[in-house]
Structure 1
Amino acid sequence: MDEQALLGLNPNADADFRQRALAYFEQLKISQDGWQVCAKALAQRIYSDDHIKFFCFQVLEHQIKFKYSELTEVQQQLIRETLITWLQAQMLNPQPEKTFIRNKAAQVFALLFVTEYLTKWPKFFFDILSVVDLNPQGVDLYLRILMAVDAELVDRDVVHTSEEARRNTLLKDTMREQCIPSLVESWYQILQTYQYTNAELTCQCLEVVGAYVSWIDLSLITNMLLPHIMMLFFLQEDDVDFLARFSKLVNGMGQALITSWTKLVKSCDMKSAQDTLQAIEAKVALMLQLLIHEDDDISSNIIGFCYDYLHILKQYWNRLVFIIFSLLQAIMLAVMKKLTYDEEYNFENEGEDEAMFVEYRKQLKLLLDRLAQVSPELLLASVRRVFNTTLQNWQATRFMEVEVAIRLLYMLAEALPVSHGAHFSGDVSKASALQDMMRTLVTSGVSAYQHTSVTLEFFETVVRYEKFFTVEPQYIPNVLMAFLDHRGLRHTSPKVRSRTAYLFSRFVKSLNKQMNPFIEDVLNRIQDLLELSPPENGYQALLSSDDQLFIYETAGVLIVNSEYSGERKQVLMRNLLTPLMEKFKVLLEKLMMAQDDDRQMALADCLNHAVGFASRTSKAFSNKQTVKQCGCSEVYLDCLQTFLPALSCPLQKEVIRSGVRTFLHRMIICLEEEVLPFIPSASEHMLKDCEAKDLQEFIPLINQITAKFKTHVSPFLQQMFMPLLHAIFEVLLRPAEENDQSAALEKQMLRRSYFAFLQTVTGSGMSEVIANQDAENVERVLFTIIQGAVDYPDPIAQKTCFIILSKLVELWGGKDGPVGFADFVYKHIVPACFLAPLKQTFDLADAQTVTFVSSKIVVWYLFFFFQGPECIHYLQQEYLPSLQVAPDIIREFCQALQQPDAKVFKNYLKVFFQRAKP
């Protein structure tokens, strides 16, 4: 071996040595005898360095994985002997190999197993067992090999080819016939030998049993191992590592038994099904014991068995109600207990442990939902009992118990079907248990509990059950005060304030009809939360700018949905937005004078927030409550007058343009024609010093105006049409580096936006905007459309271009079209319809391509409609012969085009292009 190269395997080696080691590894992989050098090194224990040994196993792994079939039978025998020799040496080794070496060796053994077991090494496991016997180091390697074999055969995270899947099925079937009973016997011997002396081997063995239980004969486990395993459980029930593996094993056994029971019931083998059910029920007590274990990992491991078992109980509920009742209660109590937070949970700085508990809670929720399917009445009664008991004395109860009581009420909303009380009644005599619990929740004072988890759960629950307040609106004031004071939006925790801002918005929106008596009081109370915080005042606002968006939207919803007159709504909306406008003017002046980059950015962000807040209030309007009907048009026009001058600011253009552009989008939706006078100057500013991204974001704005106002904006479109196109062409023609993928993608997206703009103009009945340009500009535009249809390998752009062409042919194809358009159709549009599909790169089997071909059918049909016999003559006598298309194919094409049924022509097209391709 290259000793110098091997030095680079040391993790502390410098970059040059590591690079040399990597190159040496690649050299050994491709060389004829590199693997033999490594095999010899392992068999003869030439090297003591761990990294070299690992390196040798890697080379063998590559040989077995990718080049094994190239070896002679003698060479394959050498690999088998090498591995067995290495394994024998481990029995005598005073110190076991490092874990990473043992794992890699196990992987190599497993690879050789899947390659040779069915053909040349049927005694694979017997040979290994004869070497390792009950030697602790040998047992460790044997168990690792078994886990590696299972990973090769059944690991669901590995994507197998259909051939590998068939091979794995055959391997498992053969193992079941030839060696599984012997393997189970070996596990029994290992557990019996090491149950008191070696916890690590015991746990490893349980892990193996847990892995194999899903695909081997369960009776082998039940008859031989289960009594022994149960004894182990009682001996080691305080060992968390052992129980983590043990719970996985019980879960696997339980789920496998339930799968068997399901199949037996379906096949009507009721005797065997009953026996299997008894075997399942024998494990239920153990399942419950593990489910309620204080360690969440152990509990989580058994949830699958519990979930599946509840499905069995659901089927037997009517017949065995009294027997099942206590069992369900036990599972419910276990779930309720395990939902509870630990004292150590860090609510202010949630890390990995906290994230794992959140995921665990989601699993428990699934169990709760399944419990509700078995007996919704029992679940409701259980939750009600826990909830009422806890809230009667919440002041003296630990936070986690109060939180879980409210959480259970929250979870009932999804768990219970509507027929079991997930609705509320205005008739108190018909009030459901949910309604009673909600009344308790909002009157108990628990919203004042001094823990963030309880506070958040309170607000989440009142928002989840907002329909309660439509039938009992007398409780709305109490909840509104909780949202608005130190319990909610003014809480000491930023996390609570942030979440409450969102929940408050939802609460007000869902109950807008009930809010009228409280509108002005709420608006006054949130006034300080609406303040825009300039960067220089050093004041730490209670809410972030993102949170303030929800408060502004809430204020807008309160005003717009009120029962006030239009005049009063206008006053309230002006009171809401005037401070923003005034602050905006001051901040813009400061930005124009700012020298420091950081200060410029801070001011620009603040300006952007101001525009965003104003924009967010407009989300309150609807088709039933328009800006005009609410008398608020003038207020928003004043906002436009205030915000648009910022577009001329040369500093922080990207940030400011983005905010103003978003506001314009909202105003185009909300306002009528009164917004139009603002569009020309806004467009002029936004087209200055444009980059591809600026144009991409500007074009949708113009499309929106065009689609909404149509002919009303025709004069404006005619005026700005060519300036916009010049800006687009200038960006598209800018040189870019050949390998700059980002620039290429930006240009592609801009080109699509450009064609989308032309499609909007033509589709909105304003093709005269193009026709009225100078003849030279009209021609240039038309040529870009032809270019997009034929030259760019972008199906989306090509389809758009053919839609535009078909619209132009429809509008201009008759006698009223622009001078020279008919010639343009003959010379360019017709060839475009043929040239693109006839290219070698054009894939007629592609679905998107077929859609693209279909988009050209309209062009041909319209062309034929307007030109008639002249069109057929041109195609038959001039154009198609110029493409070297055979006369009989030309004749077929023209006949198909003249068919009255478009489907005939469409079906023929694909055949035509396949036959006409050179």
Structure 2
Amino acid sequence: MACQSAPAIMDEQALLGLNPNADACYRQRALAYFEQLKESQDAWEVCAEALAKGIYSDDHVKFFCFQVLEHQIKYRHGVLNAAQQQLIRETLMKWLQTQLMNMHQEKPFIRNKAAQVLALTFVREYLTHWPKFFFDILTLIGLNPHGVDIYLRTLMAIDAEVVDRDIMHSHEEVRRNTLIKDGMREQCIPSLVESWFQILQAYQQSHSELTCQCLEVVGAYVSWIDLNLIANDRFVNLLLSQMSVEDLREEACDCLFEIINKGMDPVDKTKLVESLCQVLQSAGFFNVEQEEDVDFLAKFSRLVNGMGQSLVLSWTKLHKTGNVKIAAETLRALEAKVPLMLQLLVHEDDDISANIVGFCYEYLHVLKQLPLLTDQQKANVEAIMLAVMKKLTYDDEYNFENEGEDEAMFVEYRKQLKMLLDRLAQVSPELFLGSVRRVFNNSLQSWQTAPFMEVEVAIRLLYMLGEALPASHGAHFTGDATKASTLQEMMRTLISSGVSEYQHASVALEFFETVVRYDKFFIVEPQHIPSVLMAFLDHRGLRHSSPKVRSRVAYLFSRFVKTLHKHMNAFIEDILSRIQDLLELAPPENGFPALLTNDDQLFIFETAGVLIVYGESPAERKQALMRSLLNPLIDGFGLLLAKLPQEADEERQTVLADCLSHAVGFASRTSKAFSNKQTVKTCGCTEVYRDCLHAFLPALSCPVQRAPLRSAVRSFLHRMIICLEEEVLPFIPAASEHMLKDCEPKDLQEFIPLISQITAKFKGQVSPFLQQVFMPLVLAIFEVLGRPAEENDQTAALEKQMLRRSYFAFIQTITGSGMNEVMANQGAENVERVLFTIIQGAVDFPDPIAQKTCFIILTKLVELWGGKDGLVGFPDFIYKHIVPACFLAPLKPTFDLSDAQTVLTLSEITLTLKMIHLKRGPEFIQFLQQEYLPSLQVSADITQELCQVLQQPDVKVLKNYMKAFFQRGKL
């Protein structure tokens, strides 16, 4: 026997480290010992001996031994000799034998690990060395409960290894698993099924946990074995008898669900479902109201859902094949389950209800395909509709102010119910509209005395109508009073009923959501706008007692105003005065809790901006209103900014900086109201925003809290470039100077888009400024890129990569805007320095995005400076550096032509070469033929070929040729 050459004892000192409470040094030693035993050719055999002889009683040591064995089977089975493989088999059987005699069972974690090791051994050896695996185990264990437990756990572990579809398998494993299943079907499945029957029968009274395990095994295996072995009288009767045993019923339900779920011929499936239903019904399981065990009912609901969906699938297949008679029988069988489905759907427990939604949805889909509905089918639709409306209702326990897991689950469940409602509307729009109208009107007539959940769900249904019904069914608004839609009528009721006064947060939210959902209603009936505006502005909306309502209403109010601003001219100044206190900057020291968060205030500022800009007042009035809106921000900003540098406490500094950032953000948000028609200039607001710039820019030189302040001011400048046009230009030089001082990579990276935006927008107008700022900016970038960084600092490396990309994008913006003089006027030395960085970016860094940008720049520079009257010395630069870059970059091993970005880079390289030929003509071809390509050892034939393609007008041909050329060059 192989184990005789193994060391006879284990390292007892190392084993001490297996205890979870052991010292770190012991744990380290145990780990090292584990590695040693795993990798050794035969040292692991000592673990096999320990398990076979039961030498150790410590659970951690036994688990450790199984782990070592597991490693051998999993990773080293192929290198074990026949004797060692035999040793593993014998060890497992001896260990199993000891379990039969033990008074006490092993802990579950050891039994699970043993089952795993047995399953792995089975997978490796069943087809070759151990075809009698199950026969040996069943012979050994008989009906011993300890043995049966390991046997069932092993079957589940085999299912995980061989069948489980959630586990990814290689092609080789899939092939092996198929062979294993085929072998099992041929050789042992009938014996296994017989053993399951014996176990279920023997232990249903005495060992419920074993019976449940066995039911789980049957459920797992039924998907791929012959169904007749399970779906027969003796087996199904046994399962049904277990449906009446409290400890077994849930697992029996799951097992029946798996049987029903098995793929089958539609006629056979219908017969199976029907026979099962008859037995369940006669056994009293359909009397759902009398069942108090909700956990069982949830499982039963899932089973009924499976049966219903199976019947739908059978009907669909039969319907498609035109088998009318049998399809009609299947539909009758299906509809016979609807009363049971409705009982489960309307059950007060949401888990039970949620488990039947699938069947309900698919049944409605069947009805949708029928040409005409019978009276009974219409009654079913109505019953489902009422059930869904009832189930949409919140319960008393729902916590609106502090939503937890239960609340999240209800929100998800509501989404499922909404799908049902949408499907109901498709099946019978008239019925759907009528039902919603009835529920809505009943609830709103008596909203003062109705519980909040009834009122909320009534408004919720009105909200859902719009999505569920197409416009042709009344879910639209018309100007013609005689044709006023049902929806219009319901909206009138919603607004005039006074329900907006309902105190509960959920009703308030639903009211405002619905008003904004149907804001087009107010275009048809603008007379309702004043009353809804008041609801937004008073204790019902922005001043509601619930912060959640206030927050949501701030957003909804901005949407409402944006849509209906044309109808609000008469109320503008009244609204602005009513929201005045909500527009205040809340400095941290005032001690009052703000009604709105800073994010909510952004929406209010934007709303105020929209009201001012789109009002019909003359420009002077708009300017006065905008000034009264922004001056408090400007004043508050100045005071806080003066305080900030004097503040020693860092936490307090952060709070002040946040407040300053918010002030800038609020001012920025008001500018979103302007458009191409309503510009800052036409509204007379230029001066107001200039004053903002004067106030905010000093923050750039604040010595503390630089990052948040710079970020806020930079964002404001981006907005002003769009809104103020050239009026912003005088502020840019000073702002740039401040932002280029003491730069971090992130500062620079965020500053470059600002300069690029100015360049692209103003072009020649900013040329003098750009010439001035160009080299300081470039030098700041070089300085940051040149800073040493830790070798493995991924963050620093990524920051530099992003900065490099931003730098090249900036150069591209300048060259692309036709402002070559910005670079040309930097002096020969500086121009050369910049050009070399572009060559370096094109060739040296394996970043295809940056490389592509560099070649776009080079193409543009060749176009601008590469001709006869171009920049002095540039043709020389073309031949010495640009042409080599076009060939060296694609020849680099990092230039991956299977990568889409890299292919785009190659495309730009081709365009660069094409542009050089356009500008330099035959001189360039001669240089390639006589000097450059020979220096790369390119043969005369290929050189000739490349030059010919280069001279053809079709760029596409050249692109394809260059790709092939470099693919060849890399071989």
SS of the counterpart of 1:17? Answer: helix
Map Cα deviations across residues 521-576 of structure 1 (whole Å, 9 max, x no partner).
Answer: 21111111111011122121111111111111111112222222222222211111
Map Cα deviations across residues 500-520 of structure 1 (whole Å, 9 max, x no partner).
Answer: 212222222232233323222
Deviation at 1:781, TM superposition (A): 0.7
* Structure 1 counterpart of 2:25: 16
Equivalent-residue separation in structure 1 for 2:236 and 2:448 (angstroms): 48
Deviation at 1:154, TM superposition (A): 4.9
Alignment CA distance shift 1:542-1:226 (3 Å): farther
* Structure 2 counterpart of 1:867: 920
* Structure 1 counterpart of 2:670: 617
Alignment CA distance shift 1:667-1:556 (3 Å): same
- Tell me whether 520-529 or 229-238 shows the greater mean CA deviation: 229-238
Q: Does 1:46 align with 2:32?
A: no
Map Cα deviations across residues 412-457 of structure 1 (whole Å, 9 max, x no partner).
Answer: 3333333333322233433333333333322333323232222222
Preserved CA contact (<8 Å) 2:66 2:113: yes
- Report matched runs for 1:281-296 at 5 Å: 284-296=338-350
Alignment CA distance shift 1:185-1:284 (3 Å): farther
SS of the counterpart of 1:536? Answer: helix
Deviation at 1:80, TM superposition (A): 4.2
Equivalent-residue separation in structure 1 for 2:572 and 2:498 (angstroms): 24
- Report matched runs for 1:466-615 at 5 Å: 466-615=519-668
* Structure 2 counterpart of 1:810: 863
Q: AA paired with 2:517?
A: R
Q: Does 1:674 align with 2:683?
A: no
Deviation at 1:743, TM superposition (A): 1.3
Preserved CA contact (<8 Å) 1:889 1:916: no
Deviation at 1:168, TM superposition (A): 4.2
* Structure 1 counterpart of 2:450: 397
Q: Does 1:159 align with 2:168?
A: yes
Alignment CA distance shift 1:8-1:355 (3 Å): farther
Deviation at 1:84, TM superposition (A): 4.6
Deviation at 1:207, TM superposition (A): 4.7
Alignment CA distance shift 1:55-1:297 (3 Å): farther
Q: AA paired with 2:586?
A: S
Gapped regions of structure 2 (runs ≥ 5): 1-9, 247-290
- Identity, in percent, stands at 75
Q: Does 1:304 align with 2:358?
A: yes
Preserved CA contact (<8 Å) 1:714 1:766: yes
Equivalent-residue separation in structure 2 for 1:262 and 1:136 (angstroms): 46
- Report matched runs for 1:571-720 at 5 Å: 571-720=624-773
- Tell me whether 176-185 or 799-808 shows the greater mean CA deviation: 176-185
Map Cα deviations across residues 699-740 of structure 1 (whole Å, 9 max, x no partner).
Answer: 000000111111111111011111111111111111222222
Deviation at 1:122, TM superposition (A): 5.2
Alignment CA distance shift 1:157-1:474 (3 Å): farther
Match of 1:412 among 465, 475, 481: 465
- Tell me whether 155-164 or 343-352 shows the greater mean CA deviation: 155-164
Q: AA paired with 1:101?
A: I
Alignment CA distance shift 1:23-1:479 (3 Å): farther
- Tell me whether 283-292 or 658-667 shows the greater mean CA deviation: 283-292
Deviation at 1:43, TM superposition (A): 3.9
Equivalent-residue separation in structure 2 for 1:86 and 1:298 (angstroms): 44
Preserved CA contact (<8 Å) 1:206 1:246: no
Deviation at 1:621, TM superposition (A): 1.5
Preserved CA contact (<8 Å) 2:680 2:724: yes
Equivalent-residue separation in structure 2 for 1:862 and 1:691 (angstroms): 37
Equivalent-residue separation in structure 1 for 2:300 and 2:651 (angstroms): 58
* Structure 2 counterpart of 1:331: 384
Map Cα deviations across residues 257-307 of structure 1 (whole Å, 9 max, x no partner).
Answer: 544554455455667766765665565555444444443334333433433
Deviation at 1:87, TM superposition (A): 4.4
Deviation at 1:840, TM superposition (A): 2.9
* Structure 1 counterpart of 2:267: none
Gapped regions of structure 1 (runs ≥ 5): none
Equivalent-residue separation in structure 1 for 2:601 and 2:477 (angstroms): 32
TM-score, normalization: structure 2? 0.88
Equivalent-residue separation in structure 2 for 1:285 and 1:35 (angstroms): 63
Q: Does 1:881 align with 2:934?
A: yes
Equivalent-residue separation in structure 1 for 2:142 and 2:304 (angstroms): 27
Match of 2:813 among 743, 746, 760: 760
Equivalent-residue separation in structure 2 for 1:429 and 1:709 (angstroms): 56
Equivalent-residue separation in structure 2 for 1:588 and 1:774 (angstroms): 41
- Tell me whether 798-807 or 19-28 shows the greater mean CA deviation: 19-28
Equivalent-residue separation in structure 2 for 1:779 and 1:758 (angstroms): 14
Equivalent-residue separation in structure 1 for 2:630 and 2:124 (angstroms): 74
* Structure 2 counterpart of 1:747: 800
Alignment CA distance shift 1:485-1:135 (3 Å): farther
* Structure 1 counterpart of 2:791: 738
- Tell me whether 805-814 or 104-113 shows the greater mean CA deviation: 104-113
Preserved CA contact (<8 Å) 1:203 1:245: no
Deviation at 1:599, TM superposition (A): 2.1
- Report matched runs for 1:143-292 at 5 Å: 143-169=152-178, 171-172=180-181, 200=209, 204=213, 207-208=216-217, 211=220, 223-224=232-233, 233=243, 237-256=291-310, 258-259=312-313, 261-267=315-321, 284-292=338-346
Deviation at 1:134, TM superposition (A): 5.7
Match of 1:59 among 58, 68, 79: 68
Equivalent-residue separation in structure 2 for 1:277 and 1:2 (angstroms): 70
Map Cα deviations across residues 573-616 of structure 1 (whole Å, 9 max, x no partner).
Answer: 11111110111111111113222222222211111110000001
Deviation at 1:38, TM superposition (A): 3.5
Q: AA paired with 2:899?
A: D
Equivalent-residue separation in structure 2 for 1:138 and 1:270 (angstroms): 53
Equivalent-residue separation in structure 1 for 2:48 and 2:339 (angstroms): 52
Alignment CA distance shift 1:455-1:218 (3 Å): farther
Preserved CA contact (<8 Å) 1:203 1:241: no
Alignment CA distance shift 1:735-1:294 (3 Å): same
Deviation at 1:327, TM superposition (A): 3.0
Deviation at 1:673, TM superposition (A): 0.8
SS of the counterpart of 2:661? Answer: helix
* Structure 2 counterpart of 1:386: 439
Deviation at 1:748, TM superposition (A): 1.0
TM-score, normalization: structure 1? 0.93
Map Cα deviations across residues 763-804 of structure 1 (whole Å, 9 max, x no partner).
Answer: 011011001111110111111111111111111111000000
Q: Does 1:29 align with 2:83?
A: no
Equivalent-residue separation in structure 1 for 2:223 and 2:384 (angstroms): 24
Alignment CA distance shift 1:810-1:286 (3 Å): same
SS of the counterpart of 1:12? Answer: coil
- Tell me whether 173-182 or 799-808 shows the greater mean CA deviation: 173-182
Equivalent-residue separation in structure 1 for 2:299 and 2:146 (angstroms): 20
Alignment CA distance shift 1:187-1:427 (3 Å): farther
* Structure 1 counterpart of 2:367: 313
Preserved CA contact (<8 Å) 2:200 2:214: yes
Q: AA paired with 2:354?
A: S
Equivalent-residue separation in structure 2 for 1:264 and 1:34 (angstroms): 63
Preserved CA contact (<8 Å) 2:344 2:353: yes
- Tell me whether 840-849 or 248-257 shows the greater mean CA deviation: 248-257
Q: Does 1:7 align with 2:61?
A: no
Task: Kindly report the root-mean-square deviation, in angstroms, between the aligned alpha carbons of the 2 structures.
Answer: 3.0
